[in-house]
Structure 1
Amino acid sequence: MDSRLAMPRRTVLSMGAGLAAAACAPLAPMGSPRTSEAVLRRSPPEAVGMSSAALNDIRTALQRHIDANEITGAVTAVARRGRLIWLEAQGVRDVQTQAAMREDDIFRMMSSTKPVTAVAVLMMLEEGRLSLDDEVSRFIPEFVDTRVVSLPAGSADPAQATFVPAARPIRIRDLLTHTSGLMSYGDFLAPGPGQIVTPIERRPGDTLASYAPRLGGAALDFQPGARWRYSPLAGFDILLRIVEIVSGQTADVFLRERVFEPLDMRDTAFNIPDEKRHRLLKLYARKNDGWVEEPSILGPEEHRTYLSGAGGLFSTALDFLKFEMMLTQGGAWNGRRLLKAETVAVMSTNQVGQKFAEWIPPITAGMGFGLSVSVVQDESKADGRSKGAFGWGGAYGTETWADPALEISACLMVQQGSRNAKADLSKTIRTAITA
C-alpha cells in the first residue's frame, strides 16, 4: 500500500465486496476522451433490489417540508448499483412566479464543494506530488512559523490576545480533517479567536494565488491536530491552491479536465455560462412568515476570479449524483477510474477519533470524520445510512452522500437549510431496500 496514505492495511482489507469489485473492473485511463456512452443508465428500482412504491414516499416526505415552509422546493436523486432509480423535482424555483422546480436546475453547492477539492488533492497524492503529512509551508512559504492565539473567556478584544508558537506546522491532513485551527468556528459556530484577532479579508479581484499566501498571517485557534473545529473557507481554499501549484493548472481547468469531464458533469463549474444562468435558482430566506429573496453570502456570482475550493461550485442533482456514485464505487464510474479504491477507503475512514463526535453531540454523535467528509460510525444515529456511509453538505442545504455497504448514492438539492429533510430522505431510501 502507498505509504503516503498512512492507513493500516487491515482497514483497506475490511472494505466491502462491492468496493473490491469496482477496483478489479477493467477501466479506461483518466486521459481517455469523452464518449457518447458517458450517460447515466436509468433502471426500475426493482431491478436493483428497491421498491418503487416505497421510493415514492420520498415525494411525500419532501412535500411535508415544502408545506411547512422549510424549503421552497427540492430536487432529489438516488442511484443504486450503478443505476439511476430516482430523480424528481418538487416545489417552486421562483416564489413570485410560482415557476416549478426542474430536474436540471442549478444549485449553489457551497461546502458540498469540499469533497470535490479533497478528490483533487488525493489525485495529486496518487501521482506522488504531495502526501497527507506534507507541511503546508512546503507549497506556501508564508505558513512557516504560525502562531496560536487565545482570548480570555467571553472576550472579543484583540488587545487581550496572547500568542504562543504553534507546536508543529500545519499539514495537509490537518486541513482535510478540519483539525488545523485555521480560521475555524468555535463552539456554537461562533468565530474562533483567530478570525477576531487576525482577520484576513479577501479583496476584489483576488485569486487563490493572491489570497492563500495572506492566510499564512492568520493566527491559529488551537494547536494543529488538537481538536476538530470547522474551517468553513480558509482550509479548503488553501488545499485547492496547493493543487494549482503542484499540477500547474488553475483550479477550474484542473477540475474540469480531471473530475467533471470524466464524470460527465456538464453543469458543474465555478462560473455559470450565460446560456445557463436562467437555470440558477434564486435564494430565499424565511422572514415575517414569507420568503424574501437575498444575495449569496459569497458575494457576486458572475465572472468570479476567486475559485473557492471550500464553497465555490455550482452544480445539479444529476451531476453531483455521478460524483457520489464514483465514490460509492471505490473511485470509478462508467469505466473510468478517478481514484484508487484504497485512496477512497482512506478518504472515508474516520481520521479524528472522537473529536468530531464530541463537537456538537446532538448533531455529530455517532459520527467520525474522514478527509472532507463525515463518516457514520454508529448506524443507530445515522437516519438510515449504514456504517461507513460518508458525505457532506452545504450552507444552503445541499446534502450528498455515498453508502458503499448499501451500494447507494444520494443527493438532496435545496437552497434553504433543512437537516430534517435529509434525515427523511435517507430513512425513506433505507426502507425501500428489498434486497
Structure 2
Amino acid sequence: MMEPLVHLQSFEHDALGDRSYLIADRGSGLAAVVDPQREIEAYLRAADLLGCRVVLALETHLHNDFVSGARRLHDEHGAEVIGSRRAELGFAHRAVAGGDVVRLGEVEIQVLDTPGHTPEHVAYLVPGAPAVLFSGGALLPGGAARIDLFGPQLAATLADDAFATIRRLLALDDDTRVLATHGAGSFCSSGVQRRRETTVAEERERNRFARVLDAAGLLREATRDVPPVPRYYARVRALNRVGAGAAPPAARLLPTAFAALARSRAVTVLDTRPEREYCAEHIDGALAVPYGGAFGPWVAWIAPDELPLAVVAGSDDAARRVSIGLAAVGRDDVAGYVTNVNELGLPLAHVGRANPDLLAADYDATVVDVRWDAEWDEGHIPYALHIPLPDLAARANEVPRTDRVAVHCRSGYRSVIGVSLLERAGVPNLAHLPGGIEAWGDAGGIVMG
C-alpha cells in the first residue's frame, strides 16, 4: 500500500473508454490530476472532500480521443500543468522529460520517457510499497495503446519506441500497480483486456506485446485487426496543444428558430434521443446518434465538421448531458436544441424496428452489416452487405433500393446511426435490428464465419 496520507481515486469516462486519476497528499492538502478530462468539476469536488486543493495537472501525452481539462485547471484554478517537453504545449506549463521529478507535497512523482503510442509520451511513477505507474497509453491491461494514429511511416518508428518502452516498464518491480488512461472502450486502444488495473507481474504474463521478439513483430501485432483512425483525432490533438477552456452551454431554441436553421441546411440536425423515440418519429434527414455508448466519439467521427449541430434531445437535462458529451470531443459548435419534434412544422419520418425472427425468413430484404472488419470475420449473416459504419455515407450508393433494407451491428447501437446515414442518402424502406447480430443468433438465424 502507499503511505496512508496519500489517496488515489480513479474517474471512469465510459463514453470515451478512458480514465483519469486524482493523487491527493492529505498531509499537505495538495492534489494532482493525471490526464484530466475537459469536465473538471468531479476532480475538484473529490479533492475538496479530502480537504485538498488541485495544484497539478499531469499530462501523459497530447490526447487524440478527448479534449483535456488541463488548461481549465490552470486558467480557472491556478494548477500547474506538467507535460512532455516534446509535446510543445502552447500555453503555460512546465515541460518535463525522463529523469525529472515533480513534487506534490511529500509525494515524489518521477517522470519516465515512454514514447510509442505517441512520440511525446511520458509516464509518471510514484515510488512506494507498491509503486504506482500512471502509464497513459504506454502500457495497458493486455496490450498498449495504438501506434498507427499518425500513418504507416511513423508507425514503424513508433513501433521501435514502443518495443523499448514496454520492455523498460516490464522491468519495474513485480507489484507495481499500473493505472492506464486508455481502456478497452477507447478508439485509441485495440485488443486490450477489460481490467481497470493491473500490475507489472500480470503484464509480463498476460500482455500480448510481452512476448514479441522485436519491433517488427510488435508492429505486425499492433496493426492487426485495428479499426480505421477516427478522422477527428488530428483536430482534437491540435486543440489539446493550445488548450481548451470551458465549453459554452447549449441553448434551448424557439421552434421557429430551430426550424429555420434546419430548412437552411446550414446545420446538421442531430437526434440524440433513445433509439425507440428516434425510430417512432424524427425529423426527416436527421443524423441519429443516441446519447449513451460511445456517443461523443461517434458524433465527432460521423457528423460533418463544417456544419454546426442543431440538437434534438429528450429533455433539458438530456440536452445538458449531450452538450457535455460533445464538448469532450471538441464539438462546441452547438447552435441550440429542442425537445419536441412535433412543434417544428418540419417533415417527419420513421424507421422500422426489424423483428429478427421475421427477418431471418425474409430473403428479399437487403441486410447491411455496419460492424468492423474483425467482427465480420468472426461471424456474419450469409447474404449481408458489409460496409463499416464510418464508410457508410460514402458508400451508400452500394445499398440496393429494394423493398426492405435492414441495418444491423453487434447489439443495436451503431445500426441506428447507420439507418440515419442511409436515410440522409435517400435510401427508402429502412429498418434497424434491435439487439443486432446477437438477437439474430438468438432467433436461430444462420451466422457464418
- Relative to the length of structure 1, the TM-score reads 0.27
Which structure dedicates a bigger proportion of its chain to strand? Answer: 2
Query: Per chain length, whose mean CA-contact separation is higher, i.e. which structure has more relative contact order (CA < 8 Å, sep 6+)?
Result: 1
Larger Rg: 2
- Relative to the length of structure 2, the TM-score reads 0.27
